[in-house]
Amino acid sequence: MKTNNMNRISAVSYLNTLPFIYGIENSGFLNPSEYKLSRDIPSVCAKKLENNEADIVLVPTAAISKMPDINIISDYCIGANKNVLSVLLVSQKPLSELKNIYLDYQSRTSINLVKVLSKFYWKKDFIWLNSLIGYENKIKENTGGVIIGDRALELSAHYKYKYDLAAEWNNFTGLPFVFACWVSKLNININFINKFNKSLEWGIEHINNIKPNYPNLSNEFIRNYYKFNIDYNFDNKKHDGMKLFFKYLKEI
């Protein structure tokens, strides 16, 4: 049990998480004295959970499979029923001609997802390359790259071929994909958890009030992204999709 009233929350710093952040900060369900919110890339969210540097975390699902002592605390997630648009394998040549793939340094789940798809769906062996900032410029000829988050939305037009990994997963399994969900390693006060979930729900319900600052993306694009690509409800099909993903993770 926590011994103080300050709950450290780590949320992903991407456009798709803004409705959650908007609800946490503006719904009125949570008192600012009850929490401290940080915005992090997905891989940092996972590390904060592992290192006990955060109490409530929007953690990438690939990390969950390696943490048996955590609790899923919300019926909301970052998921997609088909096309997600913000998790892509991009290239200048078709998939059949690719030999190397850069793996986005900001992600664990997307790295594992592309490896699962490669082995079990596409039936291809690639040379996996670790990436650093700026690797997007090295995606050319027979080298592709996984790009996630806001960069995927903003840079996708630069590449001739784009493979939406959530859509590929759906084509493979018939199930939606869950990229991240809210978890905790600690026994958080149930009253706070209830208010936290109400704040998430409020943020999703007031999604049209959010005014993101993304000069490279039109307001219409952002509205459609929220409406048609991201699905926040952690329903039974998403649970099934996540369980199947965990099963495949054990085999790669």
Residues 194, 166 share a domain: no
User: Which CATH number is 190's domain given?
Assistant: 3.40.190.10
Residues 120, 92 share a domain: yes
Residue 137 counted as domain residue: yes
Number of domains in the chain: 2
Residues 135, 15 share a domain: no
Residues 119, 72 share a domain: no
Model's pTM, two decimal places? 0.93
Residues 101, 39 share a domain: no
How far CA 183 is from CA of 197, 215, 236, in Å, comes to 12, 32, 17
Residue 243 counted as domain residue: no
**pLDDT score of 108:** 86
Q: How far is CA 202 from the centre of its chain?
A: 20
With 50 as the cut, is the pLDDT of residue 1 above it?
no
Residue 162 counted as domain residue: yes
Residues 169, 94 share a domain: yes
CA 245 – CA 243 distance, rounded (Å): 5
Q: Tokens 């290192």 identify what position?
A: 51
Residues 145, 104 share a domain: yes
Residues 137, 68 share a domain: no
Residues 65, 92 share a domain: no
Render pLDDT for 11-32 as a digit per residue (tens, 0 to 9).
999 999 999 999 999 999 999 9
Q: How far is CA 203 from the centre of its chain?
A: 17
Q: Which of 128, 153, 173 is the last residue of a domain?
A: 173
Residue 1 counted as domain residue: no
**pLDDT score of 88:** 98
CA 1 – CA 238 distance, rounded (Å): 29
Residue 97 counted as domain residue: yes
With 80 as the cut, is the pLDDT of residue 2 above it?
no
Residue 242 counted as domain residue: no
Residues 69, 186 share a domain: yes
Residues 181, 162 share a domain: no
169: containing domain: 87-173
Render pLDDT for 202-231 as a digit per residue (tens, 0 to 9).
999 999 999 998 999 999 999 999 999 999
pLDDT above 70 covers a percentage of the chain that reads 98
**pLDDT score of 26:** 98
Render pLDDT for 105-145 as a digit per residue (tens, 0 to 9).
988 899 999 999 999 999 999 999 999 999 999 999 999 99
Residues 169, 181 share a domain: no
Q: How confident is the model at residue 186 (pLDDT cuts 50, 70, 90)?
A: confident
Render pLDDT for 87-102 as a digit per residue (tens, 0 to 9).
999 999 999 999 999 9
Phi-psi region of 174 (alpha: psi -120 to 50; beta: other; left: phi over 0): left
